Each structure stands twice: as C-alpha cells, then as structure tokens.
Structure 1
C-alpha cells in the first residue's frame, strides 16, 4: 500500500471512529471539505503541512496518519 492509500485509509478510519462527517472534520482541520474528500479517495497528494493539519483534530501525529 502506498503512502497516499495509507493516509486515506487512516483518515476514513479515524473520522468514522469519531463519528464525524467529512464536512465536520474539514472544519475542525481548517481544510475545505472537497480537499478532504480528494485525500480520502487518494486523488490528492497533500503537503506535509496539510498532513499536520489533518492530524490535529484526532490528537495524533502526522506520522500516525502515514503509518
């Protein structure tokens, strides 16, 4: 599994565990909802700065999202 697929799977899993919609999660992360959707589908290759933003609402590290 490549890094984008791992990130996408981890985001979907964590978002589901928290019971958040893509829109709610995107608001919490400070990212547009369609960008979150694209990342979860593996259609985007986010920068490390974006990965850090994605990690904050889950209280995990960027490396946790990529593992």
Structure 2
C-alpha cells in the first residue's frame, strides 16, 4: 500500500534538536569505538591530527563535527562513517 508523505520544512528548533541528537549519538559511538580499540583520547587526537580538547568535546557531545573530521576519526578507529553516526 502506498503512503502519502508530506515534507514539512524543519523549524530552527527542530533542526537544533536533530543536531543535538546526532551529536549525542556520535559522542557515544566515538567513545565506544575508541575504548574498544584501547586508545586514549590523546592517542586518537594525535593519530587523527586533532586537538586533544576538541576530541574531548566531541565525546561530550558539545560540538557538531564536520564530515571531514568524522572521516579522519573513522580512519583511525577503522570504522565506517555510518558506524559513527548510527
């Protein structure tokens, strides 16, 4: 059965909520994969070419990383971008 789907523009509030949920998901996955690989935040930041404080903020869900930053982290952790965001 076909369903009719209406696309409604997101409000700024909705967009902000989505970004926050995505940041929390990324922060959880980032920490999980980093710890599974027995890496410290310092080791991850060194290997990915990122500042230690930035990695800490990502794990705390305070920042919304770019696709490029996620790609750098995924390469170090040997996971896909999908693994980090889903």
> TM-score, normalised to structure 2's length?
0.73
Greater RCO, CA 8 A, separation 6+ = 1
Unpaired segments ≥5 residues, structure 1: none
Match of 1:33 among 45, 52, 57: 52
Q: CA RMSD in A?
A: 1.2
Specify the alignment match of 1:10 in structure 2: 29
CA distance in 2, matches of 1:30, 1:56: 11
Instruction: Considering fraction of residues, name the structure with more helix.
Output: 1
Equivalenced residue count is 67
Rg (Cα) greater in structure: 2
Large movers: runs of 4+ above 2 Å: none
Unpaired segments ≥5 residues, structure 2: 1-19
> TM-score, normalised to structure 1's length?
0.92
